[in-house]
A and B are shown apart, each in its own frame.
Chain A
């Protein structure tokens, strides 16, 4: 039958299209364009990965920004909107309608399930669904947000002078064959407690109580002691480590600012290993940035300006002559 397009799935020619369909060479949305997309009852920021005509209609393969790739899907133009102020307002309106404001998106899915003040009743319900609320049908947000938070890179900005410190550190050890003399003073323990002193003098401390700040500092200490030998040493420092950190001696008592700073290079990886709410992450990052600024302020007292020339490493704290 002449002109029937129903059997032709690969239509790319424009003359068969009706007048109100978009131009064959470009749809309403283009690849790489940032858009707003409906998904369930809400609107999300998304990016068009691919745009194709299928069965005479433009279809767009979108990726929801911040969400796991598993959620990428083909949608029609009815699901998409241009990323304009007007449409962003629509997004916000829907967020409000869901009873939660944009910043609390992460909690929406978790506070929505039927919560009664009768804990016993809730347990009976959850026993049937058998999960921690993750894969509840129809409650898409929960699963989406779960995916979004694990493994999402946590960016931590290291101030430029500290970056330079790390490059100099690399240069001294790798290029010039030097080593940091151990034990260091101030050591990591001291630096962290100095930070807590400094922190208690400040007003407000980014809305964090002393206890909470202390918990974060404890977290850094815990990481440092556990991962120093695993991921914070250059090969050339291994022998020194084996000799310096023996018995009960902790890395945090032995090493100082130089190695603590290396921890911050690894922090994004470490913090990405478990799930955290977006809001909490933001507060945590603020604190970590504050700590880096503190290191920067004290750069001249905390960091060594020159390292020791290492010979065959003979001993802890001793300089053996040949």
Chain B
């Protein structure tokens, strides 16, 4: 059951209060015919609403950093559990693309911190102890 195809979007307000620190994002694309928007399936609205809820847990900015695949996995899992049907990560990206221009997001600052702290690899002590319970 793929394909929330985007033909029947209704116009939405720009979600500017949702995310902090975003440099730019595009408003949702309007459907060319406003009458088709009235026929937008209830389920599509529900999916979008759930997605926006999911973003409260998984901030958009994380979709640009090193954790992005796991964050996307988290969003996908959230939707999957909400609707009890499989979702694919690319489906989720498509959905997000309706609301946000992901390329315009600034990279996550936390990442810089992580990647600048070079340290030598070391094995935790527990590895050297025999028969860890």
Interface residues of A (CB under 8 A from B): 104, 107, 110-111, 115, 117, 119-120, 122-123, 126-127, 130, 132-134, 149, 163, 166-167, 170, 209, 211-212, 214-216, 218-219, 222-223, 226-227, 229-235, 262, 265-266, 270-271, 273-277, 279-280, 283-284
A284 to B76, CA, bound (A): 12
Query: Contact at A110–B53, with CB atoms within 8 Å?
Result: yes
A interface footprint on B6-18 (CB within 8 Å = 1, 0 otherwise): 0000001101011
For A219, the chain B residues whose CB sits under 8 A away are 67-70, 73
* A123-B115 CB under 8 A given contacts A107-B78, A170-B123, A215-B73: no
A137 to B39, CA, bound (A): 37
> For the complex, is B49 an interface residue (Cβ under 8 Å from A)?
yes
Q: Which of A122, A149, A166, A230 contacts B117 (CB under 8 A)?
A: A230
Question: Once bound together, how far apart are the Cα atoms of A275 and B59, in whole Å?
Answer: 9
Given A132-B56, A230-B115, A231-B118, A126 and B73 contact (CB-CB distance below 8 Å): no
Tell whether B109 is near chain A: CB-to-CB under 8 Å: no
Interface, chain B (partner A; CB < 8 A): 12-13, 15, 17-19, 42, 45-46, 48-49, 52-59, 62, 66-74, 76-78, 81-82, 86, 88-90, 110, 114-115, 117-121, 123-124, 127-128
- Name the contact of B12 in the complex, choosing from A120, A223, A271 (C-beta under 8 A): A120
- Cβ A284 vs Cβ B70 within 8 A: yes
Most buried by B among A130, A219, A279: A219
9 extra interface residue pairs, beta carbon distance < 8 Å, beyond A119-B52, A222-B66, A277-B74: A104-B81, A110-B57, A119-B12, A123-B13, A126-B17, A215-B70, A226-B115, A231-B121, A273-B110
Given the contacts A120-B12, A222-B66, A283-B77, A233 and B121 also touching, CB distance less than 8 Å: yes
Which residues of A lie under 8 Å from residue B52 when comparing CB positions?
119, 122
A-B contact pairs, 29 of them (CB 8 A): A104-B81, A107-B82, A115-B49, A115-B53, A119-B12, A122-B52, A123-B13, A123-B15, A126-B17, A133-B56, A167-B127, A167-B128, A209-B88, A215-B76, A216-B70, A216-B73, A219-B70, A222-B66, A227-B66, A229-B118, A230-B117, A266-B121, A270-B67, A271-B67, A271-B70, A274-B58, A274-B71, A277-B77, A283-B77
Nearest CB on A from B26, distance (A): 16
**Residues in chain A near residue B55, CB distance under 8 A:** 132
* Whole-angstrom CA separation of A99 from B52 in the bound complex: 21
How far is B78's CA from A167's CA once the two chains are assembled, in angstroms?
A: 38
Q: Contact: B62 with A230, CB < 8 Å? A: no
Partner of A227, one of B13, B45, B115: B115
Which 9 A-B pairs have CB atoms at the shortest separation, nearest pair first? A219-B69, A211-B88, A280-B77, A132-B56, A215-B89, A218-B69, A219-B70, A133-B56, A127-B17
**Minimal Cβ-Cβ distance residue in A for B68:** A222
Q: How far is the CA of A230 from the CA of B111 in the complex (A)?
A: 12
Determine the distance from Cα of A232 to Cα of B115 in the docked complex, in whole angstroms. 12
Q: How far is the CB of B94 from chain A (nearest CB, A)?
A: 13
